Amino acid sequence: MQQITIRDALQQSSRDIDDIDARILLQYALDVSHAHLIAHAEQVLDSKQAQSFRLLTTRRARGEPVAYLTGKREFYSLGFTVTPAVLIPRPETELLVDMALALIPPDLPWKILDLGTGSGAIALAIAKHRPLTDISAVDFSANALTVAKTNACELGVKNVRFIEADWFDGFNGEIFNLIVSNPPYIADGDPHLTRGDLRFEPRMALAAEGEALDCIRSIIAAAPTHLVEDGALLLEHGYDQAEACRRLLSEAGFKRVFSRPDLAGIMRVSGGALDIA
């Protein structure tokens, strides 16, 4: 069998896949760092490594997301295990974590609810930075919760409990200081769902049944009865949903309603707080 070096492998794969993807997949196949690939460009791959990299390249060329191929994705500078059971955490969702951390006092044991936790990205990033909080993380996908629990273990997080439920079901009478959510917000028939990485991600993590705003509407409507009297709600939403979200928040009785843009300048998170009566 023809021998190939790290340099050859990267060159050959660049015909079929993006250079950065090739580099990440080769690191994964060889279990080495980026620095190693640069410093040892003439290293010859053994047959198992060469075969594994070829297979990964083929799967990537067919569209499978890199994060599902390597089983890893960084979010908020933390390493998360991801499988096709969970949405791959997005960089824009870090805004929601930033905004939650800005609200949560580091020295108080706030109760927090993360609705639609998926890999646990939001709940676990908050938990890591606010160890005194008591966080409940909900998803209706048992398979997603298995991944989230793995992440909690791997990150050494102890202050998050995971609950299988349909949004607020099972929280009768329980109230929180802050509710956060990145719910499905793409309309069921949206053509984006049939393109790129989205084709491989769980449909129930991306698409709201019926109208795109259905999940957001349900969460906003029920949130006030699950918040303390000055509690707050923060929601991630689609690029064109900020105005509708603010209207729904105001109609539900939230005050100081606002939207914030992500790094790309797209309105990405909306929220509001209840007033002390």
Ligand X SMILES: C[S@@+](CC[C@H](N)C(=O)[O-])C[C@H]1O[C@@H](n2cnc3c(N)ncnc32)[C@H](O)[C@@H]1O
Which positions lie near ligand X, rule CB under 6 A?
A: 87, 89, 93, 116-119, 121-122, 138-141, 144, 166-167, 182-184, 204-205, 215
CB of 150 to ligand X, least distance (A): 14
CB of 206 to ligand X, least distance (A): 6
For ligand X, the closer of residues 56 and 121 by Cβ is 121
For ligand X, the closer of residues 9 and 138 by Cβ is 138
CB of 13 to ligand X, least distance (A): 28
> What are the tokens at 248?
């729904």
For ligand X, the closer of residues 65 and 183 by Cβ is 183
For ligand X, the closer of residues 10 and 95 by Cβ is 95
CB of 169 to ligand X, least distance (A): 8
Burial zone of 43 (CB within 10 Å; 0-12 exposed, 13-18 middle, 19+ buried):
middle
The residues facing 79 across adjacent strands are: 74
CB of 220 to ligand X, least distance (A): 14
For ligand X, the closer of residues 66 and 205 by Cβ is 205
Q: Give residue for tokens 């990299």.
A: 53
Phi and psi angles of residue 137, each rounded to the nearest 5 degrees, phi first: -120, 120
For ligand X, the closer of residues 32 and 163 by Cβ is 163
> What are the tokens at 225?
């009865």
CB of 27 to ligand X, least distance (A): 23
CB of 190 to ligand X, least distance (A): 14
Burial zone of 264 (CB within 10 Å; 0-12 exposed, 13-18 middle, 19+ buried):
exposed
For ligand X, the closer of residues 203 and 256 by Cβ is 203
Nearest one of 159, 213, 158, 161 to 184, comparing CA atoms: 213
